C-alpha cells in the first residue's frame, strides 16, 4: 500500500456553487490517488479583518514549509488567482513538489513572445526536477485523469521530495516586474524605476538581454514539442537568480498583478528574502479595505518576526519617493 502523503490544496473555488462541486471532484481525485489532504485553502472562511487574514495566511505558509509533502493547485481562470501564483513560487523555493491542473487553453504572450504563464510552468518544474527524475518538460495537467496519473506515478516512486534549495545571500536586488512585456511600460522602468534602485544597490534585471536573449531565441526557434521546455528553462533561471539575490523588489502594477511577478514574490518568500512592494496603480487587487490579497501580504512579510510582520501588513510604496525611502531603509538594515 502506498504511504499517504500530506497535500495542501488550493483551487480558488470558494464562492461559486458549480465551482465548489469541481473543487470536491479535485480533492476526491487526490484522495483516490493516495494523498492525504492536510490543508484546504479554498474552503477556509475568510476572517473579517484583512490584517487577521494575512496573519493566518502567514501561519499557513509556515505550515506548508514544515508539513506538506506536496502541493496541488487547480490553476483556474485567466490569469489564475494571485494566491495560487504566490503559493506555487513558495512551494518551489521550499522544494515541495507541485502538481498543477489547468483546463483553460494556452495562455497568451507578450510582444516579445514570452508566455504570460512561463513562471508557473517554471515553478512546477523547479519543485520536482531533481527528486522525481523529471526534466524541464514537466507539464501542468490538462484534465483530472492526467493529474491522477501524475500523482500516482509520484507516489509509486516513493513520493520523493527534492533537497531544499539552499538560499544564498548575495549582494544584488532582483527586480521582479512585468514592465518588459510591452514597449509602453519600458520607458518608466528603465528611466525612472531602475535609476532609483541603482542609487542604493546593484540589481538583477530579469529583462536584461544578456541574461535572456539566448533563452528566448532557443524557445522561439525550438520545435513545437520542445518549445514549452525551452521557455521553462528560462523561467528556472529566474528562480535561481532569486535564490542567490540579497532581496526582491516586486512591482505589482496592473489589475490583476502579473502572474510571473507573483510567482517570483512567492519564491523570494520561500527563500527567506526581504521583499519590497511597489505599486502605483490606484486600483485595489482584492475586495475589502486591504490593498492586497492576504497571500501577497503574507509572503511579502514572511521574512520578518511575527510582531513586525503584523505591523507591516498592507504597507507598500505607492509613489517613487516612498519607494526610494523604503529601499534605502531595507538596504541599510
What integer pLDDT is reported at residue 202 of this predicted model?
98
| Range in 169-173, 250-254, 286-290 with the lowest mean pLDDT | 286-290
**Percentage of residues of the chain with pLDDT beyond 70:** 84
Residues in contact with 323: Cβ distance below 8 Å, sequence separation at least 6, in sequence order: 193, 196, 276, 278, 317
What integer pLDDT is reported at residue 290 of this predicted model?
67
Bigger pLDDT: 10 or 88?
A: 88
Bigger pLDDT: 40 or 184?
A: 184
Q: DSSP states of 213-280 as a string?
A: HHHHHHHHHS-HHHHHHHHHHHHHHHHHHHHTSSEEEEE--TTTTPHHHHHHHHHHHHTT--EEEE--
Bigger pLDDT: 266 or 285?
A: 266
Bigger pLDDT: 97 or 294?
A: 97
What integer pLDDT is reported at residue 319 of this predicted model?
94
| Range in 10-14, 60-64, 80-84, 184-188 with the lowest mean pLDDT | 10-14
Selection from 64-73, 113-122, 204-213 with the highest mean pLDDT: 204-213
What integer pLDDT is reported at residue 136 of this predicted model?
43
Q: Show the DSSP H helices in the chain as ranges.
A: 17-32, 50-67, 82-93, 118-128, 144-156, 183-188, 194-200, 209-221, 224-243, 259-270, 294-300, 306-312, 320-332
Please report, for residues 11, 13, 25, the alpha-carbon distance to residue 20 in angstroms, rounded to integers and kept in the order given: 9, 5, 9
CB distance 84 to 264 below 8 Å: no
What integer pLDDT is reported at residue 310 of this predicted model?
75
What integer pLDDT is reported at residue 323 of this predicted model?
97
Ranges for all domains in the chain classified under CATH 3.40.50.450 = 5-156, 173-332
What integer pLDDT is reported at residue 332 of this predicted model?
93
User: Is residue 88 helix, strand or coil?
Assistant: helix
Across the range 78-87, mean pLDDT stands at: 83
Please report, for residues 43, 126, 242, the alpha-carbon distance to residue 203 in angstroms, rounded to integers and kept in the order given: 40, 23, 11
Name the average pLDDT for the chain: 83
Q: Which of 270, 280, 26 is nearest to 144 (CA)?
A: 26
For the cut 70, the answer to whether the pLDDT of residue 50 exceeds it is no
Q: How far apart are CA 251 and CA 143, in angstroms?
A: 33
Note the pTM of the prediction, 2 decimals.
0.90
pLDDT, tens only, 123-176: 988 998 744 444 444 567 888 888 888 888 888 888 777 777 888 889 999 999
* 87 backbone dihedrals φ, ψ, rounded to 5°: -65, -40
Hunting for cell 494556452 — which residue is that? 106
- CATH number belonging to the domain at 5-156, selected among 3.40.1390.10, 3.40.50.450, 3.40.140.80, 3.40.718.10: 3.40.50.450
Bigger pLDDT: 114 or 235?
A: 235
Q: Which of 269, 248, 265 is nearest to 257 (CA)?
A: 265
Across the range 79-83, mean pLDDT stands at: 79
CB distance 206 to 241 below 8 Å: yes
Across the range 108-130, mean pLDDT stands at: 76
pLDDT, tens only, 20-36: 777 888 888 888 888 88
Copy the grid coordinates of residue 124.
512546477
What integer pLDDT is reported at residue 47 of this predicted model?
47
Q: Which of 22, 20, 4, 54 is nearest to 293 (CA)?
A: 54
Bigger pLDDT: 110 or 141?
A: 141
* 84 backbone dihedrals φ, ψ, rounded to 5°: -70, -40
What integer pLDDT is reported at residue 116 of this predicted model?
64
Residue 171 burial by Cβ neighbours in a 10 Å radius (0-12, 13-18, 19+):
exposed
Q: How confident is the model at residue 328 (pLDDT cuts 50, 70, 90)?
A: very high
What integer pLDDT is reported at residue 44 of this predicted model?
53
Q: Which of 156, 99, 96, 91 is nearest to 131 (CA)?
A: 96
Bigger pLDDT: 120 or 193?
A: 193
For the cut 70, the answer to whether the pLDDT of residue 46 exceeds it is no
CATH class of 173-332: alpha beta
* C-beta neighbour count of 307 within 10 angstroms: 8
What integer pLDDT is reported at residue 144 of this predicted model?
87
Q: How far apart are CA 164 and CA 5, in angstroms?
A: 17
- Going by their DSSP bridges, the two strands 173-176 and 247-251 should be labelled as parallel
Please report, for residues 10, 144, 182, the alpha-carbon distance to residue 23 in angstroms, rounded to integers and kept in the order given: 9, 11, 35
For the cut 80, the answer to whether the pLDDT of residue 249 exceeds it is yes
For the cut 80, the answer to whether the pLDDT of residue 236 exceeds it is yes
Amino acid at each position: 500500500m502506498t504511504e499517504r502523503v500530506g497535500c495542501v490544496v488550493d483551487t480558488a473555488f470558494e464562492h461559486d456553487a458549480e465551482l465548489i462541486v469541481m473543487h470536491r471532484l479535485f480533492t476526491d481525485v487526490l484522495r483516490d490517488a493516495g494523498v492525504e489532504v492536510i490543508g484546504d485553502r479554498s474552503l477556509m472562511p475568510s476572517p473579517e479583518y484583512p490584517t487577521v487574514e494575512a496573519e493566518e495566511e502567514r501561519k499557513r505558509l509556515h505550515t506548508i514549509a514544515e508539513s506538506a509533502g506536496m502541493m496541488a493547485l487547480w490553476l483556474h481562470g485567466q490569469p489564475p488567482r494571485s494566491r495560487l501564483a504566490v503559493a506555487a513560487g513558495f512551494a518551489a523555493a521550499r522544494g515541495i513538489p507541485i502538481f498543477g491542473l489547468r483546463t483553460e487553453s494556452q495562455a497568451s504572450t507578450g510582444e516579445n513572445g514570452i508566455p504570460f504563464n512561463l513562471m508557473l510552468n517554471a515553478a512546477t518544474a523547479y519543485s520536482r526536477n531533481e527528486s522525481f527524475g523529471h526534466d524541464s518538460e514537466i507539464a501542468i495537467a490538462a484534465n483530472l485523469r492526467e493529474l491522477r496519473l501524475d500523482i500516482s506515478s509520484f507516489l509509486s516512486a516513493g513520493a520523493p521530495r527534492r533537497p531544499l534549495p539552499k538560499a544564498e545571500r548575495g549582494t544584488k536586488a532582483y527586480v521582479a516586474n512585468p514592465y518588459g512585456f510591452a514597449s509602453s511600460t519600458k520607458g518608466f522602468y528603465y528611466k525612472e524605476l531602475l535609476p532609483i534602485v541603482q542609487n542604493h544597490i546593484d540589481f538583477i534585471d530579469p529583462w536584461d538581454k544578456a541574461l535572456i536573449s539566448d533563452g528566448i531565441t532557443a524557445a522561439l526557434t525550438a520545435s513545437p514539442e520542445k518549445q514549452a521546455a525551452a521557455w521553462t528553462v528560462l523561467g528556472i533561471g529566474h528562480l535561481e537568480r532569486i535564490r542567490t539575490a540579497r532581496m526582491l523588489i516586486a512591482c505589482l502594477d496592473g489589475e490583476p498583478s502579473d502572474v510571473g511577478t507573483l510567482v517570483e514574490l512567492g519564491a523570494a518568500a520561500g527563500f527567506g528574502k526581504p521583499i519590497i512592494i511597489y505599486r502605483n496603480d490606484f486600483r485595489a487587487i482584492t475586495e475589502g479595505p486591504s490593498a492586497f490579497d492576504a497571500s501577497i501580504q503574507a509572503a511579502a512579510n514572511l521574512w520578518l518576526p511575527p510582531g513586525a510582520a503584523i505591523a507591516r501588513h498592507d504597507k507598500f510604496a505607492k509613489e517613487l519617493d516612498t519607494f526610494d525611502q523604503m529601499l534605502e531603509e531595507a538596504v541599510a538594515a
